Structure 1
Amino acid sequence: MAELIPILGIIMVIMIVITTNKRKLEEKRMAYEERRHAAAPKAPDTSAEKARIADLEDRVRVLERIVTDRGYDLADQIEALRDQRREDARGLGDDSGVALDFAKKEQV
């Protein structure tokens, strides 16, 4: 029986070390998971992004048509784009851009 006392002491020390290390490893794992979730990029609102992309694509198409097709009145189309931008800016509270005054219309 006296021989078992040192063995039980060694077993207790080993269990204490294992339990302490297990708890520290679990805390490190939880901290890692928190950092990983905090660093993960936030998913954008896809419907709003799709609407914005569609709006920008429409504007690019109009600008391409203005540049390539000389049969249209350039000043009127630019004014229409500016009006569209003002309407968009009202929703954002920001009126960006410079007002242009076209006295002459393009002649074909």
Structure 2
Amino acid sequence: MNPFEMVVAIIIVITIGKVLSTRYRAKHGIIEDQNGNEIAAPSQGTGRLQEDVKYLKERVAVLEKIATDDRGARELENEIEKLRDR
């Protein structure tokens, strides 16, 4: 095998490897960012999970407000005392 044939063979092997690598990444949802780091592409369930997390965060915020808001309990106590005084 002369050097020219070896160079052509190496280029063919590298090209085939790149094509197979690209197909594998596309099949498994792997993408690269601008720095060349591999990141997993978001799946179809990711959007639903993000909506669920947002909904749960809103609920937790409401529950925290209820648990820490002492004003409502004091107002209720004052109204009960007013009724007792009648």
Report TM bin, short chain: 0.3 to 0.5
- Structure having the higher Rg: 1
TM-score by length of 1: 0.41
Higher relative contact order (CA 8 A, sep 6+): 1
